[in-house]
A and B are shown apart, each in its own frame.
Chain A
Amino acid sequence: MIQPDAIPALDPNPLPAPYWVFKLLLIVTFFLHILAMNLMLGGGVLALVLKWRSRKHAGSNRIFLDLAKKLPVFLPATVTLGVAPLLFLQVLYGQFFYTSSIVMAWPWFLVLVFVTLAYYGFYYVSYRGGRPDARAGRVLLFSMILIFLIGFLFSNNLTLSQAPSRWAAKYFASPEGWSLNLTEPTLIPRFLHFLLAAVAVGGLLLVFLAVANWKRDQDYARQLLQFGGKAFMHATMAQFVVGIAFLLSLPRDLRMLFMGDNPWATALLLIGVGGGIGAIMLMSGALRKENVRAAAFYVPGVLVVVIASMSLMRDILRDAYLKPYFNPGQFVVSTQWSVLLLFLALFLAGVVLWFLMLKRYGLFGSK
């Protein structure tokens, strides 16, 4: 059937900067993307729960409406911040990513259709959520099902991109691109791992809203804090079960990387686990004492470290999967200095302008 050297060859263009530059940009922008994605997905899940609860708890509807207004902002943030890691992923791992995408071409293409529909759904809920009828809830459910599917398809594609040995059989079974990577043992735990992380961050989003409302309307703020804080704690606790399942589903040699074989990977896992436990304890204390500042500043502080270490672990895991097929030394490097410097200057200016725009808008409470 397929030749052993079936990994597609690189194209003739050299890498326009050293390998590590792209690696760094990939990890940093992925980290930002995943933060935005967590806010969108977690916020959406909690909004859905709140809408459902609002049939019995009148207060839930207000939180639902507050959350619903944020979703049409978090989705474009996720997409916009996703473009950069997608770009840098293609720079380094295009040979793997394009191939796995083609093997599951139609489902992958459908991601676009799903995002567009989910996005319009979010706008509908944000503009019409206040109406007494139940349509907003149904539309939100529809959007969230699409978002789940998108996440599931991402999990399929990225795991498939790390499993070249499966490509040929899947491709020749369906050159029309109707394959998925359902036999991948890590698929479901991996997907659930991302999902739960998002719910936890969605809980933190409510805690942030609690801070914003603390002076104006303390009753409402307390409600936000309690609901969000508990959502965070429950999701993070469940993460211990799912995280262990994820770890156990990895092939033994890869699992052992995080359990002693690679000290750096092991340290990251310990930071992740320790940070998770620490964050739960901090949140629990903050809820008991109603210390909204601790919940809104210390917990996210710890969580940022946890997510950063998870992003690094994910990268280590990818490179371990691809080790038999991928050699970073394969690239010829010829740095395009002028454009690289222009990018860095514009990037810096863009970040400053972005913060200024948000500041002048009053998002940091200065107005």
Chain B
Amino acid sequence: MDQPKLTFTYGFDENDEFETQQRGYCDHVVVDLPTRLQYRVIFYEPVRLAQSLETLQESGKVCLGEPGLIVVPTVTLHYMQEAVNQLYKEGYFEHLAPLKQKVE
């Protein structure tokens, strides 16, 4: 494996692809890197992220600082995979705390 691999804790089928695009975010995603390290990430589209920030502000909170937050144009499998590939090359995951050492 020379590219990061996405693993969805609760699965990801065709229905999920459709519903995730509607929702505009995808939680419970783990990235398996070729280094055998795993990282938890969450994908958002810009609009959904803005809506979440707005709701956060309404509820009296002032910030959102979520490790592993990745913003993609649309939350599709294609964009999610492309995003982690690019971020892996850029060394993004070196700044995140891994979940655990992957056991083969």
Please determine whether chains A and B interact with each other in the same assembly: no
Residues of B whose CB lies within 8 Å of any CB of A are none
